[in-house]
Amino acid sequence: VIQYYFDAGNGLSAVVSLEEGSGEVGTIDSYVPHVVGGLKYTQGWGAITGVVSYDSNYEEVAGKVRLDVNATNELSLFLMAGYGTDDNLNDHTNNIDALGRGFYKQWGGNWALWGGGTYKFNEKTSFNLQASYDDWKDIGVAANVAYTVVPGLTVTAEVDWQRVGQGAIDNDSVWVAATKKDNVGGLLRFQRDF
């Protein structure tokens, strides 16, 4: 990654990045890197962030815009929308068929929406909720409780639900490799920061 980051000191920041990518679909296949650019405006009420990317492998563009709002000291909310082109991501004549999902456009179809928030019960405990929906009619919901046992040690218990939409090409194109229409999962995470 070659990256330039600029902070104007007034809440406005920008980034430009040339990236190699990773994984079978994402790693660049020539001398042309992926290109990413982003802008962010942050104030006490929250932030507005926008990012756009060019996938040099598949010659596709994707972008996201996110609004973060600090509703109260305890409650923060976000909304995000993404749009991306995918003609070459669905082209089976490519060396590696991306099944409609690229390194930067990982949602199904052209567009996707996300929303959610965090509620802090106290300094140690918070509840997080996120929901998503995309062009392929995939729906995802994740909810977790994060608890800071001691400074630097956080335990998070999470439950996730996904409904595979109508537009998925096949099970290979479902990002969680789900084999059923409705899927439930969970995790218990122990995170130690030093």
Domain boundaries, the chain: 2-192
DSSP-assigned beta bridge partners for residue 82: 64, 112
Q: What is the pLDDT at residue 167?
A: 62
Quote the CATH superfamily of domain 2-192.
Answer: Porin (2.40.160.10)
pLDDT class of 178 with cuts at 50, 70, 90? low
Distance CA 136, CA 184 (A): 19
pLDDT, mean of residues 152-164: 95
Q: What angle do CA 15, 135, 162 make, to 5 degrees?
A: 95
pLDDT at 174 over 70: no
According to the model, what pLDDT value does residue 22 have?
Answer: 86
Binned at pLDDT 50, 70 and 90, residue 99 comes out as confident
Q: Which residue has the higher pLDDT, 93 or 60?
A: 60
